[in-house]
Amino acid sequence: MGHENPTISGVYSHVTEAMTDEIIRLLDRLWDAAIRERFAPESPVGVLDTALRAYRERSVTPLLSQTR
């Protein structure tokens, strides 16, 4: 009958792909900053330190879910 949907999903259903990409980029930068702050410059745990080397060298590749 043409009624408007007053729910959140009805009001905010216009999220574009560009908006989603911007949010993903922002969250990725926040995640990387948090990892660098938490584990910089290195971890005393050898295995963890090896895994975190990519963050220190800034050679981390995006997660599969973040590559469209």
DSSP structure string for the chain = ------SHHHHSTT--HHHHHHHHHHHHHHHHHHHHHHH-S--SSHHHHHHHHHHHTT-PPPPGGG--
pLDDT tens for 11-40 read 666 778 898 999 999 999 998 888 777 766
Give the per-residue pLDDT at 5. Answer: 67
Give the per-residue pLDDT at 60. Answer: 64
Task: Give domain limits for the chain.
Answer: 15-66
Between residues 21 and 63, which one has the greater pLDDT? 21
Over the chain, what is the mean pLDDT? 76
As a whole number of angstroms, the distance between CA 42 and CA 23 comes to: 29
pTM score: 0.47
